[in-house]
């Protein structure tokens, strides 16, 4: 297994959390098994992460809408369509997308069912291809993602590029991606009391986890690439502006900012704020993304695809 620095110390601090939302997910460790406890008022539910491919906390692992549509007529043809689309638009191979089949994941199975490709990985594969093609490959990179979900894209990029991958996310989601990456033998670092992110840390770990309240500990001109996919549409305008300002500060000269997001209610605001905070950047890619690999969960399996926009900027 990969290293987990200060992981147990974080778990021991759970009882120190005073703020409870109406529905809060908290990690629990019993022996070697990691659980997520859902607190709803005075009641709670336990979710076992060893089998987290199908329950609501981790539905992104199978892509929620795909998991719901797994028994729908035509789902196999739809997955094959996106597989072909992925192969036509990238120089990657299907085995680049493989995830060890130890998480009860829904997807296409390979190698005697020991490996699986979840439907969302075709889109992640395209994104990883774009990043791999544009990053200079002469040295170890530092990549940061704002809101990495369950960790599928970080897992793939770290496989293809020699890098330390920094993930900024909320505690409940960090526990999810940390567990997924740790179970895949990655060296992970999460210290809830971290007050200084250093090169020594990024040189020695595959993944570093940071809370949104700690973004000021990231030094200026420290990362080669900032990534955001799908999470900007979920944020309010204040958070979007905060992360764009952070990105402008921490990206090195000749470094990149990449976003791949759907056309949402905040789209025009995001577009204007990118102009403001990414002034020192040159626009390299600005287009409607060629792969969405997305089925609206509310409509089930049909021919409708959400319109995604892909942008890549390089700091001059």
Whether the pLDDT of residue 193 is over 90: the answer is: no
CATH number for the domain including 247? Answer: 3.40.50.150
Span 70-93, average pLDDT: 83
- Split into its structural domains, the chain has a count of 1
CA distance 31 to 244: 41
Using DSSP, how many helices (H) and how many strands (E) does the chain show?
9, 15
Mean pLDDT of the 63-85 span: 71
The confidence score (pLDDT) of residue 140 equals 95
Q: Is the pLDDT of residue 183 over 60?
A: yes
144: left (phi over 0), alpha (psi -120 to 50) or beta: beta
Mean pLDDT of 173-194: 84
CA–CA gap between residue 18 and residue 70 (Å, rounded):
40
Closest to 230 measured CA to CA, from 170, 309, 125, 177: 309
Q: Could you tell me where the DSSP H helices lie in the chain?
A: 7-12, 64-68, 75-89, 120-134, 152-160, 171-183, 199-204, 237-250, 267-277
pLDDT confidence of residue 240 = 93
Name the percent of the chain lying above pLDDT 70: 70
Q: What percent of the chain has pLDDT over 90?
A: 43
Tens of pLDDT, residues 253-264: 999 999 998 877
107 Rama class: left (phi>0) / alpha (psi -120 to 50) / beta: left
Record the pTM.
0.81
pLDDT in tens, 94-131: 999 999 876 667 788 999 989 989 888 888 999 999 99
Among 194, 199, 195, 192, CA closest to 224: 199
State the pLDDT at residue 37: 45
Per-residue pLDDT, 305: 57
* pLDDT of 298: 33
Tokens of 128: 């990883």
Q: What is the mean pLDDT of residues 56-75?
A: 55
* Stretch 290-316: mean pLDDT: 65
Residues in CB range of 285: below 8 A, 6 or more apart: 130, 310, 311, 312
DSSP three-state, residue 184: coil
Closest alpha carbon to 193 in 3, 12, 1: 12
Q: How far apart are CA 143 and CA 223, in angstroms?
A: 6
- C-alpha 191/C-alpha 199 separation (Å) is 15
pLDDT at 297 over 60: no
Average pLDDT value over all residues in the chain:
77
pLDDT at 103: 67
Given a cut of 70, whether residue 41 has pLDDT beyond it is: no
- Beta carbons within 8 Å of 247's beta carbon, 6+ residues apart: 146, 226, 257, 277, 278
Domain region containing 71: 4-315
Give me the torsion for CA of 291, 69, 37, 193, rounded to 10°: 0
pLDDT at residue 77 in the model: 78
pLDDT of 44 reads: 43
Question: Higher model confidence: residue 12 or residue 177?
Answer: 177
């Amino acid at each position: 297994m990969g290293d987990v620095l200060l992981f147990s110390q974080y778990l021991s601090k759970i009882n120190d959390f005073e703020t409870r939302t109406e529905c809060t997910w908290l990690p629990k460790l019993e022996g070697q098994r990691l659980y997520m406890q859902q607190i709803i008022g005075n009641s709670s539910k336990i979710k076992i992460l060893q089998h987290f491919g199908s329950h609501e906390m981790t539905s992104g692992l199978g892509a929620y809408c795909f998991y719901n549509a797994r028994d729908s007529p035509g789902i196999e043809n739809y997955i094959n369509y996106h597989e072909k689309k992925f192969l036509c638009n990238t120089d990657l191979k299907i085995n680049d997308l493989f995830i060890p089949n130890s998480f009860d994941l829904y997807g296409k199975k390979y190698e005697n069912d020991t490996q699986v490709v979840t439907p969302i990985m075709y889109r992640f594969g395209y994104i990883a291809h774009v990043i791999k093609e544009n990053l200079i490959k002469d040295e170890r990179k530092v990549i940061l993602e704002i809101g990495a979900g369950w960790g599928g894209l970080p897992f793939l990029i770290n496989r293809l590029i020699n890098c330390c991958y920094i993930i900024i996310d909320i505690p409940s989601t960090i526990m999810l991606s940390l567990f997924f990456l740790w179970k895949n033998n990655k060296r992970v670092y999460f210290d809830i009391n971290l007050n200084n992110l250093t090169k020594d840390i990024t040189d020695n770990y595959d993944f570093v986890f940071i809370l949104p309240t700690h973004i000021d500990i990231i030094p200026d001109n420290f990362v080669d690439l900032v990534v955001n996919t799908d999470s900007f549409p979920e944020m309010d305008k204040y958070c979007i502006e905060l992360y764009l300002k952070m990105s402008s500060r921490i990206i090195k000269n000749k470094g990149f900012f990449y976003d791949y997001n759907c056309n949402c209610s905040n789209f025009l605001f995001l577009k204007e704020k990118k102009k403001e905070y990414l002034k020192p950047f040159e626009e390299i890619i600005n287009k409607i993304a060629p792969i969405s690999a997305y089925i609206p969960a509310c409509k089930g399996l049909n021919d409708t695809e959400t319109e995604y926009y892909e942008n890549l900027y390089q700091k001059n």
